[in-house]
Structure 1
Amino acid sequence: MRMRPTAQSAGQQLEGEQQAAELRAELDELLRASRYASQRERRLNEAIRATPGRQRPEGELLRQLAQARTLREGLGIRCRQLSDQLEALEMRLRHVQQEPRQQDPEQQDLGQQEPRHQEPLRPGPRRPEPRQQHGRAEPAPPPPPARPDIGALTERITTLHRSGARTEATELIDQAAARLAPADTALLVGMLARYGPTGASLRLARGTARSAPEHAVAVLAELRELGLAEEAAELFHAFWSYPAASVPGLLSALERAGQNADGATLLWEWGSAPTAELTSLAACLQQHDRPGDVRTLLRQAAGRPTADLAALSTELPPALATALLRELAALRPPVEIVRLAAALDSAGSRELYGQLLAALLADEARHRTTLAALRAAGLPTTPPAAPRSRWGRR
C-alpha cells in the first residue's frame, strides 16, 4: 500500500515534534544543573575568601572549585549546543508545515517522486546540527579546547622536582604562566602553594607578569579572590620591573579591573626611580593622554632630594618641568625651595628659575616666607625681564 505524501509529511511532523519535546526537556535539565554548578562555585569562592588571615586555602577546596568551574563551563557549552540543535529542528518543522498538502497526481507514486532535500527525522545520537542560513548549511562550531587537569599538572611538576629534573619543572611552570587562562593559573598557584615544591607557586605568579597586561591583571584579581596574598604580592611586585613604555597599558588594565589603588602604588614606586627612567615614564604617560597619572607621578617625585629635582627639571620636557616646579612650590618647605632655586641659578637655568619664581608669585601671600628666604639668600625675587626688541626703544 502506497503512502500519500501528506501522510508521510504528517509522520515526519509528529516525529520531529516528539524529538523537539525531548530536546526541550533535556535542555531544561541541563540549565538547572548549570545553575546548581554556578551556585556551588560561588559558595566555594566564599569559603576560600573566609580563610582567616594569610593562611593558604585548603587543597580540597581548590580541587572542588576547579571541578565546579569545569562542570559549569561544560554544561554551558552543552546547553548552547542543544539550543542550536533545537533551533535548527524547529526551523525544519516550520518548513515541513509550509509545504503544500497535495502534490501533482503524476507524482503520487512514491517510486517516481524526486528525492526530498528534507530527509525524515529519526531518533539517534544527538549532535549539534548545522544552522540553515539563506539555504546553505553552516558547519557546526568546533569543540571547545579541553580544560587542563590542574591536579595532574601539579603532580607532574612536583614529581619532576623531586626526581632532580628541576630545569624541566621550571620550564613547565613557565609554560603554564604563558598559556593557562587566569582562573586556571590561580588554581595551579594555589595547588603548588599547598602541595608543590618550595617557591613554585611564587615563580608561577611572578611569571605571569611577562604576559599581556590584561592577562596579568586578571591573574592578580583571581589570586586575591582565592586568598593567595603572598603570591598576589609577588605578582604585583613584578609589575615594578615593567619598562616605562609598558606602564601606561598596565595602568589602563588596572583601571578597567577596578584596581585604581594598585595604579597609585605603582606610580608611588616610580617616583623614586632613576631620573632617566622617571623622565621616560612621565613622557610616555603624557603621550598616552593620562594627565592625572602624570600629576600623581610628579607629586611623588617632589619628595626627592634637591639635587635630583634640579636634574629632573632640566631633563623633563618643558611642559612637564613647569608642572613639576609648580608641585614643588606648593609642597616643599621654604628652606628646600631656596636650595632648589640656588641650584637652578648656579646651573644657569634662568628659564626654570623664572618658572619656579612665577609659581611662587602666583600666590604671593601664601609664599611670603619663601620669597623672604630667597631675598635673604641673595636670589632675585622678580621675574627676569624679557629682552626688548630694538624697534621697541624708539
Structure 2
Amino acid sequence: MRMRPTAQSAGQQPEGVRQAEELRAELDELLRASRYASQRERRLNEAIRATPGRQQPDGELLRQLAQARTLREGLGARCLQLSDQLEELESLIRHRQQPPPPPAQQHPQHPQHPEPQQQQQQQQQQQHGQQAPRHRLHHQQPPRQPAPPTPARPDLGALTERITTLHRAGSLSEATEVIDAAAARLTPADAALLVGMLARYGPAGGSLLLARSIARSAPDHSVTVLAELRELGLAEEAAEVFHAFWSYPAASVPGLLSALDRAGLAADSATLLWEWGSAPMPELTSLAACLQQHGRSTDVRTLLRQAAGRSTADLADLAAGLPPALATLLLNELAVLRPPVEVARLAAALDGAGRSELYAQLLAALLADEARHRTTLAALRTAGLPTRPPAAQRSRWGWR
C-alpha cells in the first residue's frame, strides 16, 4: 500500500511546523528579556536623576546604563528579525496545507456527441491555465532579504580611554578630532553618555569640549543631546551646549527654535530670544528679518520686545535698519512699553535725524489710542515736536 507523500509517522510533526514552534519559543524569550532590559534602563535613569551632586553622576551607573541600552536595542533588532522569519515560515506552511484541487470528472465518450467532450477539455485547460500562474507566482517570488545586521554599538569606555590617553600624551589636536568625530557620529543617547563618562573619568574640560562640539551639529541632534544631558543630571555640560546656541548665525536660529519647540523646550526658546535682544544691531536686524521670512511672527514680536529695553540711540538705529513692516511693529511696541519721557526722547532722535517716516509711524501709534498716550503727547508738545500728522497740519493752516 502506497503512503501519501505528506504523511508523517505517529507522534511526529512536519519539519516546518516544528521550526515554527521553536521560533515562537525563542521569540517569547527574547521579548521577555527585552522588557527586562527596558525596565533596568528605566531604573538606572531614575537612579542617576536621584544621585546627589548632579554635576557628575556616578560613572558606574553611566556604564551600566550604556550596557542596558545596548542590550535592549540588540534584543529589539533580533526580535524583529525572528518575527520576519516566523511570518515567512507560517506563510509557507499555510501554502503547503492547502488541499489540492479536485480532479475533473471523467465522462464517457460518445462518438455521436463530440461537442460535450470538447467543452470538457476546454474547461480543464482553463482550470489548469488559472492554477498554473498561481503556482508560478509563488515559486517565482524573490526570497525575502534578511534583516540588516544591527550596527555595532561603540565602546564608550574604550573611546573615553583613547581620548584621555591622547590628552595625557599632549596630542590635543588628535584628541579634539576624536571628540569632534564622536559628536558627529554618535546617537544623542550615546553622545550624552560619553559626555558623562568624560566628566567622570576623562581629562579636565573634555566633557565641555564635547558639549561645544555637539552644539555645532544639526539642530535636532544637538537639542536632543541637550535634553539627554539634563535627563542624566549633567547640568554644567547641558549649560555649555545651550550657551553655544547663542553663537549660531542668524540664518540658523529659526531652525534651532523649531527644534527646541519640537522637543518641548519652549522656555529655552524664550531665553534664547532674550539673549539675542542684546545682540549687535546688524545681527539683531538680520535675525528679525530671518524669523519673519520663516513665518515665526510670534518670535519676531518677542525679539522686538526684548530689544525695547535698549538705549534710545540703539532703538532709533534699529527702527531705521528693519524692514518697514517690522519697524512699524517695533514702534508700536515702544509706544506701549517705554515711559512717556523715553518715547519723547526717541521721537526727538528720529525727528532730529531726518527720519520723518519713522516719526510719523511712532506718532500714528500714539494717536491710535490718544487717551492712553495723553502724557506722551504732552511731552512731545513740550519738546516742540508736532503731535499731528503733517497732512492734518496742512489742512488746518489751509482752513485759516
Instruction: Please report the TM-score for the alignment, with normalisation by the length of structure 1.
Output: 0.87
1-structure distance, mates of 2:152, 2:257: 33
* TM superposition shift of 1:51: 2.1
* TM superposition shift of 1:300: 0.4
Which deviates more from structure 2 when the two are superposed, residues 176-185 or residues 44-53?
44-53
**Match for 2:335 among 315, 324, 329?**
329
AA at the equivalent of 1:167:
S
Q: Is the 8 A contact 1:217 1:257 kept in 2?
A: yes
Give the RMSD, CA atoms, in angstroms. Answer: 2.5
Correspondences of 1:199-210 after superposition (within 5 Å): 199-210=205-216
**Match for 2:199 among 170, 193, 198?**
193
Q: Is the 8 A contact 1:48 1:57 kept in 2?
A: yes
Correspondences of 1:258-277 after superposition (within 5 Å): 258-277=264-283
Q: Deviations over 1:44-103 (max 9, x none)?
A: 001111123443100000000000000000000011111111101100100110152999
2-structure distance, mates of 1:350, 1:176: 56
Correspondences of 1:273-312 after superposition (within 5 Å): 273-312=279-318
**Match for 2:350 among 344, 354, 361?**
344
1-structure distance, mates of 2:285, 2:183: 32
* TM superposition shift of 1:272: 0.6
Question: 2:92 is matched with which residue?
Answer: 92
- Structure 1 residue runs of 4 or more that deviate by more than 3 Å after TM superposition: 1-4, 8-13, 101-104
Which deviates more from structure 2 when the two are superposed, residues 163-172 or residues 318-327?
163-172
Match of 1:136, SS? coil
* TM superposition shift of 1:275: 0.9
AA at the equivalent of 2:270:
A
Q: Is the 8 A contact 2:81 2:146 kept in 1?
A: no
User: Alpha carbons of 1:7 and 1:264: their partners in 2 closer, same or farther (altered >3 Å)?
Assistant: same
AA at the equivalent of 1:17:
V
* TM superposition shift of 1:135: 2.3
1-structure distance, mates of 2:10, 2:95: 12
Q: Is the 8 A contact 1:34 1:76 kept in 2?
A: yes
Q: Is the 8 A contact 2:360 2:389 kept in 1?
A: yes
Question: 2:367 is matched with which residue?
Answer: 361
Question: 1:180 is matched with which residue?
Answer: 186
User: Alpha carbons of 1:133 and 1:139: their partners in 2 closer, same or farther (altered >3 Å)?
Assistant: farther
Correspondences of 1:141-156 after superposition (within 5 Å): 141-156=147-162
Question: 1:129 is matched with which residue?
Answer: none
Match of 1:98, SS? coil
Question: 1:37 is matched with which residue?
Answer: 37
User: Alpha carbons of 1:13 and 1:303: their partners in 2 closer, same or farther (altered >3 Å)?
Assistant: same
Q: Is the 8 A contact 1:337 1:370 kept in 2?
A: yes
Q: Deviations over 1:5-54 (max 9, x none)?
A: 23379999622111111111111111111001001100100111112344
1-structure distance, mates of 2:300, 2:348: 26
Q: Which has the larger radius of gyration?
A: 2
Question: 2:235 is matched with which residue?
Answer: 229
Match of 1:143, SS? coil
Any gaps of 5 or more consecutive residues in structure 1? Answer: 105-117, 119-131
Match of 1:41, SS? helix
Q: Is the 8 A contact 1:9 1:96 kept in 2?
A: no
Question: 1:168 is matched with which residue?
Answer: 174
2-structure distance, mates of 1:133, 1:60: 54
Question: 1:125 is matched with which residue?
Answer: none
User: Alpha carbons of 1:354 and 1:134: their partners in 2 closer, same or farther (altered >3 Å)?
Assistant: farther
2-structure distance, mates of 1:13, 1:346: 99
* TM superposition shift of 1:381: 0.7
- Percent of aligned positions with the same letter in both sequences? 79
AA at the equivalent of 1:224:
R
Corresponding pairs, count: 364
User: Alpha carbons of 1:272 and 1:134: their partners in 2 closer, same or farther (altered >3 Å)?
Assistant: farther
User: Alpha carbons of 1:133 and 1:85: their partners in 2 closer, same or farther (altered >3 Å)?
Assistant: farther
